[in-house]
Amino acid sequence: MNNHLIAPSILAADFANLQRDIELINSSEADWIHVDIMDGVFVPNISFGFPVMKAVKKHAKKPLDVHLMIVEPDRYLKEFADAGASGITVHYEVCPNLHRTVQYIKELGCRASVALNPHTPVALLEDIIADLDQVLIMSVNPGFGGQKFIEHTYKKLKDIKELSNKHNPKLFIEVDGGVDEYNIIKLVEAGANVLVAGNSVFSAADPSAAIAYLKNPGKPKL
Ligand code: DX5
Ligand code: ZN
């Protein structure tokens, strides 16, 4: 079981040692670097903005998977693409013209991804799923790292996997929040193929080993 991708979230990194932590991800088995942008309006927390993201880009050797937890994301999409995003995720809950937003992300040359909060039904994506490169299923309420995983996520992953089989088999199905060594196998079995992990990586005694385990779950730990 290692066809899935691992995207460590730098929200849980040590911001005073960001270069060190990016280099740690560079030399690990991680596939992408997950970048959480929070505006203090859509979510009750502020993370960081363009200057920090550009600093991350300078050192990153893996694609930046940018998760926008902001209202009116359309205003900033170009700037995030210019700052080096390889994929951009917007939240369904803040995009009244989602089809237009998705086309714009693609025009900018980025992977177009839509996130669903825990309360937002998967079925709402039925008429747009064929246009998407990725769906992000939130398994915690967005805004903070280190929260408890919401069990209902498994059901949502199965539902989105079914929709994806029907309309868009190449879809990346990403799960974000509370992913760890204990639930990763069940999440992959439910249909997730991109796993974001913040605290389970950066709070580990050996973050590279934690990433290696998430990439190859079930194998004996290093
Ligand atoms: C939460 C963020 C997540 C967060 C995950 O709003 O979108 O990406 O960094 O952190 P953990 O893995 O600690 O739940
Ligand atoms: Zn995220």
Give the tens place of pLDDT for each residue, 35-49: 999 999 999 999 999
Establish if 89 belongs to a structural domain.
yes
Cβ(164) – ligand 1 distance below 6 Å: no
Which residue has a Cα nearest atom 4 of ligand 1? 145
Establish if 29 belongs to a structural domain.
yes
Under 8 Å between Cβ of 195 and 179 = yes
Give the tens place of pLDDT for each residue, 20-35: 999 999 999 999 999 9
Range of the domain at 26: 5-215
Establish if 222 belongs to a structural domain.
no
4 contacts: CB under 8 Å, gap ≥ 6:
188, 192, 193, 194, 195, 215
What gap in Å lies between CA 148 and CA 154, rounded to an integer?
Answer: 14
What gap in Å lies between CA 181 and CA 173, rounded to an integer?
Answer: 18
Q: Which two tokens stand for residue 142?
A: 């967005």
- How far is the CA of 87 from the CAs of 82, 90, 106, 133, in angstroms? 12, 10, 9, 9
CA of 164 to the centre of ligand 1 (A): 24
Residues with C-beta atoms within 5 A of ion ligand 2: 36, 67, 176
Establish if 220 belongs to a structural domain.
no
Establish if 18 belongs to a structural domain.
yes
Cβ(174) – ligand 1 distance below 6 Å: no
Establish if 91 belongs to a structural domain.
yes
Cβ(147) – ligand 1 distance below 6 Å: yes
CA of 95 to the centre of ligand 2 (A): 17
Question: How many domains does the structure of the chain reveal?
Answer: 1
pLDDT at 221: 64
Cβ(156) – ligand 1 distance below 6 Å: no
Residue type, 173: I
Establish if 139 belongs to a structural domain.
yes
Give the tens place of pLDDT for each residue, 46-103: 999 999 999 999 999 999 999 999 999 999 999 999 999 999 999 999 999 999 999 9
CATH number of the domain at 12, please: 3.20.20.70
CA of 175 to the centre of ligand 1 (A): 10
Asked whether the predicted pLDDT for residue 222 surpasses 80, the reply is no
Establish if 221 belongs to a structural domain.
no
